[in-house]
């Protein structure tokens, strides 16, 4: 595994980040397709054995059980000093039951300081390497949020801070507030980018590239839609309410993109997943796409994509059918 830097930091990360939404107790939260500890073990072990050192979870994944499983298994397979653990704050740990309870959601000082301690306890670690705001909080001044995040860094509970899906003007506002006050700035942006959704290319990606902010695209394979011929479904696609909402309105247009991915994969003799992921990996500014895996073989495919280089002609073919999409992924 050849390691890269996260944006303009000195932090060494694998060029793929293992997304840990897949890991969690199936009866916790709203994702019945998640894997319990026993079923998660071979995937996390395989990731470590293949040199992946970057793991991304969130306090809200499977009501916090994702953090618990990830923290426990990483202790089994590697040393803390060798790995990079990222988690997030905004939603309550039990996001559906706690979404209307005061102070359990959002980015107030109270919520941030409470949630970092809860995440560290579940992960079984004294610090996280990257603490990210999961979404923008329209009800809390950004100065309050950035100062609280800075205090977490100064307290040694997080090494760096990052952000996730939001508008470019919001990200710029947060960075400006931090710069004005001498607070820690976001070093990464976890944004929504794949061949079926490319709206981030208009504003956010150019902003991050200009500022040296590392990109960690989530859902690079469009929740599996780019890994199989159009129309084929898995248990996850049948029950993934968020995924259905992202793609329902553009199903016909997206199908034409999927067809091209399938064609190029056939020509190359490669799985569709490798073609779709290679396109994301080739985007300037990308430090490490976040890939999910429910089987070790899926992770093997993702790692193999690191060696796939698409030609200019293939990239043009992949991008040609795209049509503008409504902005999504921010809620």
| Mean pLDDT across 205-211 | 98
Q: Band of the pLDDT at 131, cuts 50, 70, 90?
A: very high
Inside any domain, residue 294: yes
> At a CB cut-off of 8 Å and minimum separation 6, what does 43 contact?
18, 22, 23, 35, 293, 294, 295, 296, 299
Inside any domain, residue 277: yes
pLDDT in tens, 17-46: 999 999 999 998 888 999 999 999 999 999
The pLDDT of residue 116 is above 70: yes
How far is residue 218's CA from residue 164's CA, in Å, rounded to a whole number?
Answer: 9
Inside any domain, residue 256: yes
By CB atoms closer than 10 A (0-12, 13-18, 19+), residue 183 is buried
Residue 295: other Cβ atoms inside 10 A: 14
Inside any domain, residue 226: yes
| Mean pLDDT across 231-250 | 64
pLDDT in tens, 77-88: 999 999 999 999
Q: How many domains does the chain have?
A: 1
Length of the chain: 331
**Residues assigned a catalytic role:** 61
By CB atoms closer than 10 A (0-12, 13-18, 19+), residue 236 is middle
Inside any domain, residue 326: no
How far is residue 226's CA from residue 239's CA, in Å, rounded to a whole number?
Answer: 17
Q: Band of the pLDDT at 237, cuts 50, 70, 90?
A: low
Reported in sequence order, the residue ranges of 134-247 that DSSP labels E, i.e. its strands, are 158-164, 186-190, 214-215
The CATH number linked to 9 is 3.20.20.100
How far is residue 166's CA from residue 170's CA, in Å, rounded to a whole number?
Answer: 7
| Mean pLDDT across 143-157 | 98
Inside any domain, residue 279: yes
pLDDT of residue 232: 77
Inside any domain, residue 331: no
Q: Band of the pLDDT at 331, cuts 50, 70, 90?
A: confident
Q: Band of the pLDDT at 240, cuts 50, 70, 90?
A: low
Which domain does 21 fall in, by range?
A: 4-319
Report whether 131 contacts 158 (CB < 8 A).
yes
Inside any domain, residue 60: yes
């Amino acid at each position: 595994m050849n390691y890269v830097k996260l944006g303009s930091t000195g932090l060494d990360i694998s060029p793929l980040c293992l997304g840990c939404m897949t890991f969690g107790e199936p009866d916790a939260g709203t994702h019945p397709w998640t894997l319990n500890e026993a079923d998660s073990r071979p995937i996390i072990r395989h990731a470590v054995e293949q040199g992946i050192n970057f793991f991304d979870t969130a306090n809200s994944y499977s009501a916090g059980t994702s953090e618990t499983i990830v923290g426990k298994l990483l202790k089994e397979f590697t040393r803390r000093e060798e790995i990079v653990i990222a988690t997030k704050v905004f939603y309550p740990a039990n996001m559906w039951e706690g979404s209307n309870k005061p102070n359990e959601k959002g980015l107030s000082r109270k919520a941030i300081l409470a949630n970092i301690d809860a995440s560290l306890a579940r992960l079984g670690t004294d610090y996280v390497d990257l603490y990210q705001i999961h979404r923008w909080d329209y009800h809390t001044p950004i100065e309050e949020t950035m100062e609280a995040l800075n205090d977490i860094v100064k307290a040694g509970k997080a090494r760096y801070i990052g952000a996730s899906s939001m508008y470019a003007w919001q990200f710029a506002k947060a960075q400006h507030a931090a710069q004005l006050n001498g607070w820690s700035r976001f070093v990464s942006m976890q944004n929504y980018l794949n061949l079926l959704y490319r709206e981030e290319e208009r504003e956010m990606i150019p902003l991050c590239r200009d500022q040296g902010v590392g990109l960690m695209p989530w859902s690079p394979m469009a929740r599996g839609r780019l890994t199989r011929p159009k129309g084929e479904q898995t248990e996850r696609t049948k029950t993934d309410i968020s995924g259905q909402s992202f793609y329902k309105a553009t199903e016909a247009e997206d199908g034409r993109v999927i067809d091209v991915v399938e064609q190029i994969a056939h020509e190359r003799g490669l799985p569709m997943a490798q073609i779709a992921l290679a396109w994301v990996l080739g985007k300037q500014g990308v430090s490490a796409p976040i890939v999910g895996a429910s089987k070790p073989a899926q992770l093997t495919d993702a790692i193999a994509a690191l060696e796939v280089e698409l030609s200019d002609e293939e990239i043009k073919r992949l991008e040609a059918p795209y049509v503008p999409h409504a902005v999504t992924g921010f809620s």
